[in-house]
Structure 1
Amino acid sequence: MKKLILGLFICLFTQAAIAQIGKYPQNEVKFNLLNVMLITSVEIGYERFLDSNQSIEGEFLINDRLNYNKENDSKKFNTNSVKLGYVYYFGEESAGSGIYANPFMKYRFGDYEENSVTTDMNAFIVGFGVGYKWNNKDRFIMAPYGNIGRNFNGDVADKFSAFEYNFGFSVGYRF
């Protein structure tokens, strides 16, 4: 167990040292506060900068609810999602800040139950997002954003909508 902990510590320390080779932090972890407050959905993300104005992001959404639908005694969502996207920043002030565009692909898995009728929510989604990111001293970030996507599951489109939207306010840390 001690060897495993020591190995993980060395890997994390090495990654942190390598991440600082550039003129700006190359990694970012973020958390969407708005979804937690509105619909008790957790959205956690990681972003890796390719350049000062572009990055690749990955996100994991726990309890991903389609279009902010509410749950009650007869409606239950049991869905999670993974999202992969490309982010292009138009800001010139500092690396990874300002207005940005974000094409993405997302896969949602799980089901939805209403009055003992279950709908398969597995769907491949392609979408586009825009937002604005504030970068405080290359460490802390805040970012309001909005996304719209098209899901390709006929059952979900019939039950809800073929188009999905998501808004958020992320806070994060760069390293």
Structure 2
Amino acid sequence: MKKALFLMLVLPSLLFAQVDSLKSKVNKNEIIVNAFELIVGGIVPISYERFIDKNQSITVKAFFLDKSSGDFNSEKFDQTKVISFQTQYNFYFSEKKQNAGFFFAPFLKFTGGKYTPTYESYYDYNGNRFLNTPGKALRVNALISGFGIGYKFLSRNKVSFGFSIDIGRVLNKAGYYQLSGPSEARLGANMGIRF
């Protein structure tokens, strides 16, 4: 009788302990690389995502050798020393998988550094285009605000694949963004691993 009572008291607590240990094994971090910008644009984009809740996370992105999406042609640049840092808050809308599926992400991005284009072009008031070579070094200090949307696939709760687009508005047009325009759009084909 004492053994049966002991098993009835201890066995449920052992089962609940197993369930709690399984819950604690949920991966809370992810390292992501944007393969599209790496291959097409020559940019080195690395991201870290920290999952806060089932449907929310914070992402910090670093873009080394950064360029605007309109300047992916690397022959246009003689020297690029531009680094960008972006912070975004992700809202996921999936009920089935944790931190996967369709997402919406407002962001704030700082871009700093300098680059030297191999040519500089401008238009006069009549729409005529003029080219000057070589271009002078331009400082880049820009603050960009916008949002991103995308979809993230998750395989075995470990590996993620996703597609995204970020659209932002340059809040201070100076130097580089004076030539490239007041807005910026980025495409992403992302691959990540959770740990």
The interval holding the TM-score normalised by the smaller chain is 0.7 to 0.9
Gaps of 5+ in 2: 1-21, 118-133
Which amino acid is the alignment partner of residue 50 of structure 2? R
Corresponding residue number in structure 2 for 1:136: 155
How far apart are residue 106 of structure 1 and its match? 0.7
Corresponding residue number in structure 2 for 1:24: 26
Hey, what's the Cα distance between the residues in 1 that align with 2:102 and 2:58? 16
Q: TM-score, normalised by structure 1?
A: 0.83
Q: Compare CA radii of gyration and give the structure with the larger one.
A: 2
Are 2:186 and 1:166 aligned?
Answer: yes
Structure 1 residues 138-157: aligned runs within 5 Å: 138-155=157-174, 156-157=176-177
Corresponding residue number in structure 2 for 1:10: none
The answer on whether the counterparts of 2:77 and 2:115 sit within 8 Å (CA) in structure 1 is no
Quote the sequence identity (%): 29
Q: Please, which moves more after superposition, 89-98 or 153-162?
A: 153-162
Corresponding residue number in structure 1 for 2:115: 112
Which amino acid is the alignment partner of residue 24 of structure 1? V
The answer on whether the counterparts of 2:142 and 2:172 sit within 8 Å (CA) in structure 1 is yes
Are 2:109 and 1:90 aligned?
Answer: no
Dislocated runs of 4+, deviation >3 Å = 20-23, 73-76
Hey, what's the Cα distance between the residues in 1 that align with 2:167 and 2:187? 9
The answer on whether the counterparts of 1:123 and 1:151 sit within 8 Å (CA) in structure 2 is yes
Q: Decide whether aligned partners of structure 1 residues 73 and 95 sit closer, same or farther in structure 2, where only a CA change above 3 A counts.
A: closer
Hey, what's the Cα distance between the residues in 2 that align with 1:129 and 1:22? 30
Which amino acid is the alignment partner of residue 182 of structure 2? A
The answer on whether the counterparts of 1:99 and 1:132 sit within 8 Å (CA) in structure 2 is yes
Give me the CA root mean square deviation: 1.7
Q: TM-score, normalised by structure 2?
A: 0.75
Hey, what's the Cα distance between the residues in 2 that align with 1:73 and 1:164? 18
